[in-house]
Chains A and B, each alone.
Chain A
Amino acid sequence: MTTFDERPPRFAVSVSVVSALIAVVLTLPGGPMAFAIAAVGLTVFATGAYRGHRVLVSIGGLVIVGGALVSAAFGAPVATVLAAMGSAFVAWDVGEYGIGLGLQVGHAARSRHAVVTHTAGSAIVAGVTTIVGILVFSVGPGGRPFSALVFLLVGAVALAIALTE
């Protein structure tokens, strides 16, 4: 067969980079350090997404997540922290998805529909969780002990680990 272009399809790259950019912008309320970290993460992420390097995409995504957490540490509102986290996850999901597509189906093949469906699914998961998180926060502390929240989450994580096995 003729040459096979393994680069990720352009549409997937664009969607993932835009999503990462949104995440970076959403770290601003957390101060300049959070933003700087997230911005570095964005550069690494975008390079990896465009070139088709899974490792760079994962590292970049992780650094953006780090930026979101730093913004939380510096007192950013819950809504922006959760939205930033959600966007970072969507960015990583679609970015890695695009790289997988490039390897299996190639740059030249039609893939837009698949990317759209996948992005929608990912965005729903991130979006619903963000909204639930915001609701929990607004309804929650004030009176509730903070540690209860932590234990709830640890329990949920343990369940999640059990489910993935």
Chain B
Amino acid sequence: MTVRRTNRWRGVTAITFLAIAVGVLTGRPAAVLAGGIGVAYAAFAARSEPPVPTLDIDRTVSTTAPADGESVAVTLTIQNDDGFIPDLRLVDGVPESLDVVDGAPRIATSLRAGRTATFSYTLEVTRGSHSFDPITALTRDASGALERETAMSVESTIECTPRLQDIGEFPLRTSTVRRVGTVPTNDAGSGVEFHAVRDYRPGDPLSRVDWRRLARTGTMSTVEFRRERAASIVTVIDAREQSRVSGPDARPLIDYCVRAAGGVAATRLDAGDRVGAASFGPYWEWTPPGLGRDHRERLSRSLALDDGYATHPPDRRFLGGLVFRRLRKNLPSDAQVVWCSPLLDDDVVRYLRRLEATGHAVTVISPDATGGTTPGQQLATIERTMRIRRLRQTGIRVVDWDLTTSLPLAIAGARRGWRR
């Protein structure tokens, strides 16, 4: 709590002296009496005592689980629990990460004892956890000569957890783990895709006997299918400084990366694969690959709210070598990696090639924020294209996502160049 002088009444006594001087010089008592008004105001200001606010403030947000991009109305109700406050100004502590789109988060009013004032404004919500800062309350007495500033804390948090959105098909690469699933392998076993025919051995299930061949040639044979196995996937979001560059709708690229990771997770979880997530950035986040509804919830919340995936610029240093080693250590040996990154620097190419070389099949989804006419921008575009080419040369699949189209479209386009 601080009290300060506003000094607004400075000079009032000078005016009084001026009036008296005019009155004396011209012999007009009216002018002298006019000076009395200045005296009255000076006395008024001298009795200044800015009240200590005793307020009961309540903040309500219109929606408890807003969607990404939804507008919510924030309403503040202030009750004066003490004496009359002639001049009360309040500034709400709107979270820095959110924008006010309608109304104002401030009010100036005067409150009698026991009375209530309300005001409201509209915020546009984005993914993440947003906490309100303390409210600033400024009180003055009637003359306004002194002002008292108080901070009042009313805790509120807005959490926006966007649902993981299915992106249609997302084919994986052919390295796998030992659970039965949907990734075709080059081994023979049980599955649904035809692989080969061999001689019938006693004990083979009769459902797999090739009856047509028996009818045709009279020999018993068994059909074998490609053994399908479940995949273990880790989506890695590039959360370094480079991802804070803005995309077309003024959202930082990390948002697109998170959206892509969420989409891959949704699609592959639906297909029965185990999916996890990691943040490659100053804040380490790690969700090991898992299955099921609970896991999906946990993944969704982590991607929405954890610091490692947040849109605000990081205030920690990033030590690439350490984080990469940690990632390698945590990755299950048979896990595929879906790396979501704008590919705006060369370091990331090294990391990816190393992952691929150590047996983790890598697929990259890269939102494209380049494009533009200045020489610097054109250079950035060319450099990024060359990085993609280098990655593809090592067998890494890259989805070059043009942000003017949807991700499913970008994936479909990229698939055309993929072999099994």
Residues of A within 8 A of B (CB): 1-2, 9, 58, 62, 65, 68-69, 72-73, 75-78, 81-82, 85-86, 89, 93, 96-97, 100-101, 104-106, 108-111, 113-118, 121, 125-126, 128-130, 132-133, 136-137, 140-141, 146, 149-150, 153-154, 156-157, 159-161, 163-164
Pick 15 A–B contacts, CB within 8 A, sort by A: A2-B101, A58-B11, A69-B18, A72-B22, A73-B28, A89-B37, A97-B144, A105-B89, A105-B106, A105-B108, A109-B119, A121-B86, A133-B36, A137-B33, A153-B20
> Does A110 lie within 8 Å of B29, measured CB to CB?
no
Residues of A within 8 Å of B106, CB to CB, are: 104-106, 109
> Does A146 lie within 8 Å of B34, measured CB to CB?
no
Contact of B29 among A62, A96, A129, A141 (CB under 8 A): A141
Residues of A within 8 Å of B107, CB to CB, are: 105, 109-111
> Does A149 lie within 8 Å of B32, measured CB to CB?
yes
Residues of A within 8 Å of B44, CB to CB, are: 125
Given A104-B91, A110-B107, A114-B108: A1 touches B36 (CB 8 Å cut-off): no
Q: Tell me what chain A mostly uses at the interface: helix, strand, loop, or mixed.
A: helix
> Does A157 lie within 8 Å of B29, measured CB to CB?
no
Complexed CA–CA distance, A164 and B91 (Å): 29
Per-residue CB proximity of B6-45 to A under 8 Å, as 1/0?
1011010101111110111011111111111111111111
> Does A1 lie within 8 Å of B99, measured CB to CB?
yes
> Does B46 lie within 8 Å of A78, measured CB to CB?
no
Q: How many residues of B contact A (CB 8 A)?
A: 59
Complexed CA–CA distance, A125 and B43 (Å): 10
> Does A68 lie within 8 Å of B29, measured CB to CB?
no
Residues of B within 8 Å of A111, CB to CB, are: 107-109
> Does B88 lie within 8 Å of A114, measured CB to CB?
yes
> Does B45 lie within 8 Å of A153, measured CB to CB?
no
> Does A153 lie within 8 Å of B35, measured CB to CB?
yes
Residues of A within 8 Å of B29, CB to CB, are: 78, 137, 140-141, 146, 149
Residues of A within 8 Å of B356, CB to CB, are: none
Contact of B13 among A76, A109, A117, A161 (CB under 8 A): A161
Closest residue on chain B to residue A75 by CB atoms? B28
Closest 8 CB pairs of A and B: A163-B46, A160-B42, A111-B108, A117-B110, A72-B31, A121-B142, A108-B104, A114-B108
Residues of B within 8 A of A (CB): 6, 8-9, 11, 13, 15-20, 22-24, 26-47, 86-89, 91, 94, 96, 99-101, 103-104, 106-110, 117, 119, 138, 142-144
> Does A129 lie within 8 Å of B108, measured CB to CB?
no
> Does A157 lie within 8 Å of B16, measured CB to CB?
yes
Rounded to whole Å, the gap between the CB of A51 and the closest CB of chain B is 18
Q: A72-B23, A157-B38 are in contact. List 9 more A-B contacts (CB 8 A).
A: A72-B30, A72-B31, A73-B31, A75-B28, A105-B108, A114-B109, A129-B39, A149-B32, A164-B45
Contact of B15 among A62, A106, A161 (CB under 8 A): A62
Interface centre among A62, A150, A161, A164 (most CB of B within 10 A): A164
Rounded to whole Å, the gap between the CB of B100 and the closest CB of chain A is 5
Complexed CA–CA distance, A110 and B34 (Å): 35
> Does B13 lie within 8 Å of A69, measured CB to CB?
no
Complexed CA–CA distance, A79 and B143 (Å): 25
Residues of A within 8 Å of B45, CB to CB, are: 164
